[in-house]
Amino acid sequence: MSYQKRVASLMILDSIIVLTAIYVSYLIINPTLRIFTYQTLFFMSFILLVSHHLFAGAYNLYKKAWEYASVGELIAIAKAVTLSIFTTAIVQQFVFHDIYFRALAITWMLHILLIGGSRFSWRVLRDRYIKPKKDVKRALIVGAGAAGTMLARQLLKSYDSGIQPIAFIDDDPAKYKLQIHGLNVEGDSKWIGRVVEKLKIDKIIIAIPSLKKEEMKAIYEECAKTNAKTVIMPLIEDVMLGSVSVNQFRDVEVEDLLGREPVELDSKSIQEKLTGKTILVTGAGGSIGSEICRQVCSFHPERILLLGHGENSIYQIDIELRNKYQDGLEIIPVIADVQDRQRIFDVIEQYQPDVVYHAAAHKHVPLMEYNPKEAVKNNVLGTKNVAEAADTFGVGTFVLVSSDKAVNPTNVMGSTKRIAEMLIQQLAKGSNTKFVAVRFGNVLGSRGSVIPLFKKQIQAGGPVTVTHPDMTRYFMTIPEASRLVMQAGALARGGEIFVLDMGEPIKIVDLARNLIRLSGYTIEEIGIEFSGIRPGEKMFEELLNENEVHKEAIFPKIFIGKTTLQPQEEIDYLLRKYKDMSEKELADYVLDLANNRRVLVEMVAN
């Protein structure tokens, strides 16, 4: 029906209702109609009819989509009807010097009942009979708070969503057995399995934005015991901003199940370091480097340098940032290899950055076991080039992105990262530049993470391969890792190694099981196989060894490690001789050096 026909139809319907209401009210008061003449009745009907249409138009009663009618629409009806009756009463007083109070009161009640009934009957008809028949999923909403009730209301109104809310689950015992929007609160989260089976639920929607990670994990474990698909409602702030609709759900991700709350930033101190400054990020096309670039840009630097060796990855982050930050930020892509000392010195001399985030590195443990010379060139020599250029040209702060594998390293990659830490700590002793390092564990979603590998294996039908059933790792998200790097730069005094309190380590096999369930499969369907520990891998990782631990955090969940300085001549020897060593000799040397084995002094002497 066109808009014009819709308005005309509603006006005709309202006219019939208004005239019916006033005549019925007068008949109820006096069936003989002796208290006034037919002319008076006709005149008053005309006044009421005109005033109703005026106020109905003022409150948009002819523009509303009544199939979605709710309390707000009922209030609008009450206001329009009340004002039209009030107007009629005033006209009666002025024209006839009398007001028929009882007749107007009955007219008001009939008016509201008939107008409201005509409108809300359309919603009832559509809900019950006209609703399109399609493959509707029966949904259980976990959370009967503000977010959950808003979601339920939206789904009840949205006929094309394909989702029908059936019941609520909520851990607040005061809500148990109550009804919200006609849906029962069936019990707490421990009842999820029973409710899903009893009510034949197809989809579970978690609608508690304030959930902590541990609480989310506990609820998801209950959901995972059922055959229903589990999804999460979008954030309320995103809904309010209009970036997503309330029924645009997302799947539960592994990041949602990390048993640790993310670190909160000290935005003021970071803003002082970054706003209006020139920032250089090496490895800007990588997972961590690109996220550092995104978060740095949110603090409005004057200029950001995106330095990387791979042109495609630098092109992608360059285009992304230019599309998002079109005014007031100069973005400069720099194609350069950190191993090229002269090129690095030229770039830093030309642009004079205030802060350098050094994220460029080789990170794959097994690959570096086979290629120790490349690991030394990129992770040690590359760090030396960028750090010494920063020192030479007076960069304010230099932040090295390190790894938990630098602690008591058993592999080449971890050893080269530890030696890189040694390098910047040596430089920090006599430099005006504040040199610091940041250690954290495995990063979910990064190119070197197990998550992409597991997902590919699941998509291929399995099995998922895990090295060992007892293998454990610390995990964090890419944004959280990047925030830690930025916070470390703001806290830097020179020479520190910052470490994030990453909570409890997670078994890789548990991560694999969760990912299989999140992908909609059972463990039996995909399967898990154990392939054995790879070269250079440790069964578990550490963030600080026993001699490095400061018990008190310098910032919530951020600690400083008490690392010991190593003789500079041993590092110099490595950088002079690594090309002449065999791969095996080099691997042994960097392992000994990183683990502070003093027998190396004899080799240096020779």
Using CA atoms, how far apart are residues 175 and 168, in angstroms rounded to an integer? 10
Looking at residue 378, what DSSP letter applies?
I
Residue 256 contacts by C-beta under 8 Å, 6 or more apart in sequence?
213, 216, 220, 232
Using CA atoms, how far apart are residues 484 and 349, in angstroms rounded to an integer? 27
Using CA atoms, how far apart are residues 10 and 118, in angstroms rounded to an integer? 10
Q: Which 3 state secondary structure label does DSSP give 368? A: helix
Q: Specify whether the CB–CB gap between 431 and 574 falls below 8 A.
A: no
Q: Tokens 């610390």 sit at which residue?
A: 474
Using CA atoms, how far apart are residues 193 and 133, in angstroms rounded to an integer? 28
Task: Output the six-digit token pair for 411.
Answer: 């592999």
405 is known as an active-site residue: yes
Q: How many other CB atoms are found less than 10 A from the CB of residue 135?
A: 6
Q: Specify whether the CB–CB gap between 509 and 466 falls below 8 A.
A: yes
Q: Specify whether the CB–CB gap between 591 and 409 falls below 8 A.
A: yes
Q: How many other CB atoms are found less than 10 A from the CB of residue 41?
A: 16
SS (H, E, C) 105-155: HHHHHHHHHHHHHHHHHHHHHHHHHHCCCCCCEEEEEECCCHHHHHHHHHH
Q: Specify whether the CB–CB gap between 439 and 498 falls below 8 A.
A: yes
Crossing angle of helices 213-224 and 192-199, rounded to 10°:
40
Closest CA to 283 of 221, 234, 356, 223: 356
Containing 358, the helix (H) or strand (E) segment is: strand 355-358
Residue 252 contacts by C-beta under 8 Å, 6 or more apart in sequence?
206, 220, 230, 231, 232, 518
Crossing angle of helices 508-518 and 450-459, rounded to 10°:
50
**Catalytic entry in 277, 377, 384, 405:** 405
Maximum separation of any 2 CA atoms in the chain, in Å: 128
Q: Which 3 state secondary structure label does DSSP give 502? A: coil
Q: How many other CB atoms are found less than 10 A from the CB of residue 32?
A: 6
Active site residues: 405
